[in-house]
Amino acid sequence: MPDTEALPSHSNPPPAGPDAIGDGHTTPPMTAPAPPPGAPVEPAAPADVIADAAAPAPDVTADEAPAPPGRSLPRILAVANQKGGVGKTTTTVNLGACLAELGLRTLLIDLDPQGNASTGLGIENRGLELSMYHVLMHEEPLENVVEPTDVRNLFVAPASLDLAGAEIELVPAFSREQRLKRAIDAVIDQYDYVLIDCPPSLGLLTVNGLSAASEVLVPIQCEYYALEGLGQLLRNVDLVKRNLNPTLDLSTILCVMYDARTKLAEQVVTEVREHFGDKVLRSVIPRSVRLSEAPSFGQPITTFDPRSRGAIAYRDAAKEVHASVSS
């Protein structure tokens, strides 16, 4: 089996310039106070879950806030992109493993009911007694949920399917956007890095991830439509920033699933660099079958195939991420 997959046969590159991240949607007005207890609830639209009412949606550009000269540990990165299947979990697991390999104590928080980050690290998440659901809904201390992995310095707070319920159950809950932040606050002095694997949506789970994080890392697939929907993500990052987490910084963009044989992949990377400048890591993650095989063995690429291209690329990316920490 070749180490690459056929790309869609689009010959045109994705649209260029600031419009490339526009998606034609405006952020809906933010109203909706929490419904009274007992009222039927529905999953909240992202803008609804962020308190402040009448603020207009900003024109978000990537370069609005210059990156601070040096970051300090601990760092909490939310890995987010509301598009499904773009490499969030693969990046969380493998970047986390590579940071751990550098000797940095790293906690992965699985905030996706699919639980792929948990199973990808060998945690059997069916029938788990305690998981992120209990942290978010029942104030279970995070430290009671965290499990060690086979990788030294790498820990995981697993998710299981019941977390899908939290997206709905959180709607009428007190302090619904800040629950993860509180849970992390209690353990943060034990870690150098916390990586949060967000689900492919912009609902309350992702808002909890963004509220708890100091930074956002966005994986972008080097494929057609890669930038579609990013405008919505950037607007929501900005909403969280203005209403819940003023120091949140969209610090890191990682181009993933790069197929060097196609012009399109190169064009996407060029577009992304033009738009996001030095937020984009120089390291690019190749499309690699080994990366997609590793989770079914419950291992990150660093132990599954330590010398593979994917392992090398994620190691480079981890070094680059950590290089911005001032010593």
Ligand X SMILES: Nc1ncnc2c1ncn2[C@@H]1O[C@H](COP(=O)(O)OP(=O)(O)OP(=O)(O)O)[C@@H](O)[C@H]1O
Smallest separation, CB 93 to ligand X (Å): 8
- Contact, 243 vs 278, CB < 8 A? no
Residue 80 to residue 171: CA distance in whole angstroms? 20
Q: Which is nearer to ligand X, 151 or 265 (CB)?
A: 265
* Side chain identity at residue 124, one-letter code: E
Within 10 A of 162 (CB to CB), how many other CB atoms are there? 17
User: Two tokens at 212?
Assistant: 């708890």
| Binding partner of 86, given Mg ion, ligand X, none, CB within 5-8 angstroms per partner class | ligand X
Residue appearing with tokens 């419904």? 35
Residue 5 to residue 8: CA distance in whole angstroms? 10
Smallest separation, CB 137 to ligand X (Å): 21
Residue (of 282, 289, 228) closest to 255 by Cα position: 282
* Side chain identity at residue 33, one-letter code: P
Smallest separation, CB 226 to ligand X (Å): 12
Residue 125 to residue 132: CA distance in whole angstroms? 11
Smallest separation, CB 94 to Mg ion (Å): 12
- 155 forms bridges with which residues in the sheet? 107, 148
Map residues 185-224 to x or -, x wherever contact with Mg ion holds by CB under 5 A: ----------------------------------------
| Binding partner of 285, given ligand X, Mg ion, none, CB within 5-8 angstroms per partner class | ligand X
Contact positions vs ligand X (CB under 6 A):
84-90, 112, 114, 116, 200, 256-257, 285, 287-288, 291-292, 295
Binding residues with Mg ion: total (CB under 5 A): 3
Classify residue 195 by its DSSP letter: E
Q: Which is nearer to Mg ion, 106 or 118 (CB)?
A: 118
Of 57-116, which residues contact Mg ion (CB under 5 A)?
88-89, 116
| Binding partner of 257, given Mg ion, ligand X, none, CB within 5-8 angstroms per partner class | ligand X
Smallest separation, CB 212 to ligand X (Å): 18
Contacts of 173 (CB under 8 A, 6+ apart): 34, 137, 179
- Contact, 222 vs 4, CB < 8 A? no
Q: Which is nearer to ligand X, 112 or 215 (CB)?
A: 112
In total, the chain counts a number of residues equal to 327
Q: Which is nearer to ligand X, 74 or 287 (CB)?
A: 287
Smallest separation, CB 292 to Mg ion (Å): 13
- Residues at the interface with Mg ion (CB under 5 A): 88-89, 116
